[in-house]
Amino acid sequence: MKITFLNPIVRPNGGNRVVSIYAKKLLERGHDVTVVSRLPFQPSLRRRIKYKLTGTKDKWDIPGRTAYYDDMGARHVEVAAGFPIDPDHMPDADAVIATWWRTAFEVAALPPEKGAKVYFVQHHEVHDHLPWDITRSTYYLPLNKITIADWLVDTMADEYGDTDVVKVENSVDTDHFNAPPRARNAQPTVGLLYSNVRFKGLDISLRAIEIARAAFPDLKVVAFGAKDPTPDLPLPPVTQYYKQPSQDLIPELYAQCDVWLCGSRAEGFHLPPLEAMGCRCPVVSTRIGGAVEVVTEGVNGHIVDVEDAEALGARLIDVLERSPDDWQAMSDAAYEQARSYTWDDAAKAFEAALVKIAGTS
C-alpha cells in the first residue's frame, strides 16, 4: 500500500512518537510510507528583533523537534506552514491519515486520488485552550477513524454517533524501556512526569505525594519534564528533577522508582505509565486513557478516580508499605504486562485496519 500521514508542526511529544513508530513499522512491513509535516511558522523580522531585545523565546524554536523522524530521510517531508495544505504537497496514495484535529479538515478536503481518508484519533481534542466547537466538528467529518483506547471508541459512538471505529492500542518499545529485576529502594521513591498543563493533573499528583510523605517522611521524588518547574507548582523536598532528559536516560529514571504516579485528569493513552511498567515499576494512576487497560487493580498497580488525590496518596502508601516479596510480585507483573503486546502486534492491527478501509489486499 501507499500510505501518507499528515502531521501538524512536529513536536517531541507522545502523539508524534506514536505516528513515527507506525510509519516506520509499516515501512518494515513493505509499504510505501510518507510522512508530511508542517515547518514551524517563521516570525517576521520585527518580531525576531523583539525576541532578541526582550529575551523572549521563540515558541516555534523547539529542541529536538524532528528527532522521531530524522532516520526516515526523504520519507519525512516538511512543507511550508499555512492552512489548508496544497494537495500537490501530498502524494497520491491508497490511504491518507490525519493525525490531529486541524489536519482532519485538510484530509477531508483532499481529492480522491490522495487515498482513502483516515482520522487517527489519539485524544478527544476538546480542551479549554482550543476552540472546542471547531475541534468537536472534526469528529463529524466523513473520515474512517482509528483510535487507541476503549474510552475513545465509546466517546466516538456516544457523542458523535460513529460506531464503526477501530481500536489499535498503543504498545511500548521493550527493547528500550526495560530493566533487570530489582529490590525496592531503601529510600521510598516515587516517579512522575512534570507538566503544568492543567489536564495533566500535576496539582493532584503533588497533593498525593504530600499524603504519602506523612507516612514516609524521607520520600524521594524522581521527576522529568520539558520545562523548568514553576513557582505555582513546586516540587517537594528531596526531588531529583531532569529537564528534557535524553531518550537513553528515561528508562534509567523509571528504574530508579518504586512506584510511578499519574494524576492526570484526561489523556488519550499516555505512554509514561506503560513505559514505567516496562522498567519494572508498578503504577498508581487516575482512571484515564490507556492506564485503565494496562493496570490491573492490585496486581501491577492501582487505579483511582480522577481528582481523588486522597486515594492516590493511599495507594502510593500501599505500594510502598508492601513486603519485599509482595512489591517484587507487583514489579514483575508490571513488567510482564508491558511485554504482553508489542509494537509489531500493533502495526499488524493498524495495517489490517488500513487494508480494510482502503479496500486493498
Whether 40 and 155 map to the same domain: the answer is: yes
Whether 145 and 162 map to the same domain: the answer is: yes
The residue written with cell numbers 530524522 in the block is 70
pLDDT at 361: 56
Residue 58 has pLDDT above 60, yes or no: no
pTM of the model: 0.85
Does the residue 123 lie in any domain?
yes
Query: Looking at residue 222, which CATH number applies to its domain?
Result: 3.40.50.2000
Q: Name the band, by pLDDT with cuts 50, 70 and 90, for residue 354.
A: very high
Q: Phi and psi at residue 193, in whole multiples of 5°? A: -90, 130
Residue 127 has pLDDT above 90, yes or no: no
Give start and end residues of each alpha helix (H) in the chain.
Answer: 14-28, 45-54, 101-109, 132-137, 150-160, 202-215, 250-255, 272-278, 291-294, 309-321, 324-339, 343-358
Whether 330 and 350 map to the same domain: the answer is: no
Three-class DSSP category at 78: strand
14-28 vs 343-358: helix axis angle to the nearest 10? Answer: 80
Whether 150 and 210 map to the same domain: the answer is: no
All three cell numbers of 160: 458523535
Closest CA to 62 of 9, 8, 23: 9
The structural domain count of the chain equals 2
More confident residue, 129 or 259: 259
Whether 131 and 199 map to the same domain: the answer is: no
All three cell numbers of 38: 508542517
Residue 109 has pLDDT above 90, yes or no: yes
Residue 46 has pLDDT above 80, yes or no: no
Q: Name the band, by pLDDT with cuts 50, 70 and 90, for residue 83.
A: confident
Look up the domain containing 292 and give its range: 189-339
Q: For 77-86, 246-255, 256-265, which range has the lowest pLDDT when averaged over its residues?
A: 77-86
Does the residue 182 lie in any domain?
no
pLDDT at 54: 73
Q: Name the band, by pLDDT with cuts 50, 70 and 90, for residue 48.
A: low
Cβ contact 94:73 at 8 Å: no
Q: Phi and psi at residue 191, in whole multiples of 5°? A: -110, 150
pLDDT at 9: 87
Q: For 34-48, 84-98, 314-328, which range has the lowest pLDDT when averaged over its residues?
A: 34-48
% of the chain surpassing 70 pLDDT: 94
Q: Give 271's DSSP letter.
A: S
